[in-house]
């Protein structure tokens, strides 16, 4: 069979030196394999440690990004609310200004109507005065 060790025979069984050398060889191979596995475990532990450090850094960055996003969202919401308040105030002021202008226009229309009335009265007075003078002139001329 392959990989099977054959020991030389001696008077009382196997040769002791062959068995001892085989056992020493097996122990050395086992120690070498154990050392390789220990080295591999140490390398894997180092890799795990490095990955944990990277993970912790990334977790901190992720947390910072999340906090920054929350702050930005909060600022944007506040800015939007402020903009809406500004727009509402502007609309209110515009409506108030419109009402004032409409009142002013109405007052000016009333003044215009009053002035027209005064002009009619003055015109009527001037026409009456002119007729009176015309009558007086006609009287003077007729005399």
Tell me, what DSSP letter sits at residue 12? T
> How many residues are present in the chain?
143
In angstroms, rounded to a whole number, what is the distance separating the alpha carbons of residues 115 and 117? Answer: 5
Question: Which pair of tokens denotes residue 20?
Answer: 């001892």
In angstroms, rounded to a whole number, what is the distance separating the alpha carbons of residues 5 and 30? Answer: 16
Tell me, what DSSP letter sits at residue 38? H
Pick 1 or 54 by higher pLDDT: 54
Q: Where are the domains of the chain?
A: 9-142
In order of 23, 74, 81, 97, the CA distances from 84 in angstroms are: 88, 15, 5, 20
For the segment 7-36, what is each residue's pLDDT rounded down to a tens digit?
566 556 777 788 888 889 999 999 999 999
Radius of gyration of the chain (CA): 58
Strand partners, 13: 10
In angstroms, rounded to a whole number, what is the distance separating the alpha carbons of residues 61 and 32? Answer: 43
In angstroms, rounded to a whole number, what is the distance separating the alpha carbons of residues 103 and 19? Answer: 122
Give the sign of the dihedral formed by CA 93, CA 98, CA 103, CA 104.
positive
**pLDDT over 70, % of the chain:** 91
Is the pTM for the entire model greater than 0.85?
no
For the segment 48-61, what is each residue's pLDDT rounded down to a tens digit?
999 999 999 999 99
């Amino acid at each position: 069979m392959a990989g099977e060790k054959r020991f030389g025979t001696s008077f009382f069984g196997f040769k002791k030196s062959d068995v001892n050398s085989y056992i020493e060889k097996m122990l050395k191979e086992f120690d070498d394999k154990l050392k390789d596995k220990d080295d591999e475990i140490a390398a894997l532990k180092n890799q795990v440690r490095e990955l944990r450090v990277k993970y912790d850094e990334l977790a901190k960055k992720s947390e910072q990004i999340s906090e920054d996003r929350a702050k930005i969202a909060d600022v944007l919401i506040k800015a939007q609310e402020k903009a809406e308040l500004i727009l509402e105030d502007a609309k209110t002021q515009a409506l108030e200004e419109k009402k004032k202008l409409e009142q002013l226009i109405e007052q000016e229309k009333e003044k215009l109507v009053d002035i027209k009335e005064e002009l009619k009265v003055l015109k009527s007075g001037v026409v009456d005065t002119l007729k009176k003078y015309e009558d007086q002139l006609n009287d003077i001329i007729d005399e």
